[in-house]
Amino acid sequence: MAKVVIIGAGFAGHTAAMYLGGVLGKQHDITMINQSDRFLFVPSLVWVGVGHMDVEKTRFPLKPVYDRMHVKFVLGRATEVHPDDQYVVVEMKDGTGGTKQVPYDYLVVATGPQLDFAATPGLGPDHGNTYSICTSGHALQAREQYLGAVERMKKGERQRIVIGTGHPGATCQGAAFEYVTNVHKDLVRRGVRDKADLTFLTNERALGDFGVRGVHVKQHGNVVSSEDFIRAVFKEYGINGEIQKGVVGVEPGRVHWQDFAANDGATDFDYAMLIPRFTGMPLKYIGKDGEDVSSKVVNPLGFVTVDGIYGLPYPTLAENPDAWPSVYQNPNYRNIFAGGIAFAPPGPISQPHVNPRNLSISAAPPRTGMVSGIIGRIIAMNIIDLIQQGRMTHHERMSEMFAACIASMGDSLWDGSAAVIVVYPVVPDVRRFPNEEGRDMFVTHMEMGLAGAWMKRMIHSTFMWKLQGKIGWKIIPE
């Protein structure tokens, strides 16, 4: 009987657990280790953060799903991995206060990110001066503070609202974009939009870069870029876009940054939601004799190294889509896999920038949502292959991967909107599509409108159905 352990019940880990349990669960030992007893649908926290969705609609209990899928559930925090002896140490959260060793033959690390607020002095809701929508607790704090700003506007006070990225190397610009446009729509609905100065502050090279080198599509015979698209949205909504800025510190009411030219500057605020840098979760990797073997498993930021080609200079990487991993398997411990944000990308997708003062201001590559789910499925199917036939048959690089992003711009099904962006492939492949910015312009698409708002709500509902393993869950794509 094979033992498969998954650490982390986000999109990648939960998807992997469902496939593994559905195929292997009756004959083999499948175990999920997670710090929370509930799944959290992070994309909908943007609505929680403006008070338009009850947080309970974004989560559901995990154990009933795993019971049906023949997956064991361990509620606790993984603290150590012993890859030579093949077990995980878990700090239990079941009220016992003890630790537990969970043995494995195959391990999937899908922990998601550590929110590295500490990398930017003064950032964050707990010990800093800004807010976040990255967790349910943070989204509730952001909602409370945002609604407080709304009340001040209703009394006639002007409010400066700053939304964006809070570190020169942050990712998830798409989430920040969704939040700023939802704030705009909400303020219009509440009749106080004229009392707010809205600023989108980002480390992107250009608006609409989103850490994926931007998007170009053909519309009515013309090529339109995501920069054109987002800039038009901001002009219509009256949102000030500040690009090419890496946040280096936050004090009460003021964000400090450096820009691409190494100029120092500051942006004042009354309310700010800034996405932090993501790093790998702090797991210890301990060898047979007690030595630290982290260098064989993770990179300096704590992300698990897999079957990508690391260390290539950006121009070479940009021309070599095969540098991206295809099976998400660690080369030193070949029974360890990593998915979602937990795996180490071979480098950035967007062109990095180092300013004259040696500060890297570069959007990190996103590995969330649909991409995470696809990778979780690939990992699961390969572990199934290894157990059943001793070889892997599934592979998919991000340079081969299709992804659809629907960025909410107001959640109303009557006057809301959403930007629908379809990208193929996620990582540009200039060899296959040399004249189309590395992407297939027949597939890649971008539009905005009310239909997108309906699609965004439909995705919330269908994914909550799928991720609970209800009837027909496999036919809903990751």
Tens-place pLDDT, residues 226-253? 999 999 999 999 999 999 999 999 999 9
- CATH topology assigned to domain 3-114+278-354+365-389: FAD/NAD(P)-binding domain (3.50.50)
- Mean of pLDDT values over 324-334: 98
CA nearest 268: which of 130, 124, 120? 130
pLDDT value of residue 272: 98
* Cis geometry, peptide bond prior to residue 425 (ω within 30 degrees of 0): yes
The strands making up 159-165's β-sheet, listed across from edge to edge, are 239-242, 196-201, 159-165, 271-275
Give the 3-state secondary structure of residue 356: coil
Q: Report the predicted TM-score, pTM, of the whole model to 2 decimal places.
A: 0.95
The β-bridge partners of 329 are 337
- Mean of pLDDT values over 326-337: 98
pLDDT value of residue 95: 79
Q: Would you place residue 347 in the very low, low, confident or very high pLDDT band (cuts 50, 70, 90)?
A: very high
Buried b (16+ CB within 10 A) or exposed e, 64-101: ebbeebbbbbbbbbbeebbbeebbbbbeeeeeeeeeee
pLDDT value of residue 411: 67
pLDDT value of residue 419: 78
Long-range Cβ pairs for the range 59-62 (8 Å, 24+): 59/136, 60/464, 60/467, 60/468, 61/37, 62/9, 62/14, 62/32, 62/34, 62/36, 62/37, 62/38
Distance CA 333, CA 81 (A): 12
Q: Which two tokens stand for residue 277?
A: 């840098």
Per-residue pLDDT for 17 more than 70?
yes
Distance CA 70, CA 20 (A): 9
Amino acid type, 40: L
Per-residue pLDDT for 408 more than 80?
no
Q: Which two tokens stand for residue 194?
A: 């004229």
Whether residue 281 contacts residue 273, with contact meaning beta carbons closer than 8 Å, is answered with: no
Could you state, in order of their start, the residue ranges of all structural domains in the chain? 3-114+278-354+365-389
pLDDT value of residue 448: 78
pLDDT digits (tens, 9 = 90+) for 300-317: 999 999 999 999 999 999
With a pLDDT cut of 90, the percent of the chain lying above it is 86
Distance CA 270, CA 199 (A): 11
pLDDT value of residue 219: 80
| Mean per-residue pLDDT over the chain, rounded | 94
Lowest mean pLDDT among 185-199, 200-214, 282-296, 427-441: 427-441
Per-residue pLDDT for 319 more than 70?
yes
